[in-house]
Amino acid sequence: MKHKVTVDEWVKRFRAIGLDETAMQNWHKLFEKENPDGHQSFLEWLGLPTEKITEIRQKYV
């Protein structure tokens, strides 16, 4: 995937539709549970460094 959106832009959109921190954490948890490869790919698409991706994914296993 080509990098098109920053993390800040993504979070801004989530907040605009009413997601709070807990809801965003639940979103990550569900994404990781149902589609771990897709979650990895999404985090890479956002341009996150490998260490940050690992940290996020381990948090939601």
pTM confidence score: 0.83
Q: How far is CA 61 from the centre of its chain?
A: 13
Q: What is the pLDDT of residue 1?
A: 53
Other Cβ atoms within 10 Å of 2 Cβ, number:
4
Give the chain's residues under pLDDT 70.
1-3
Q: What is the pLDDT of residue 2?
A: 59
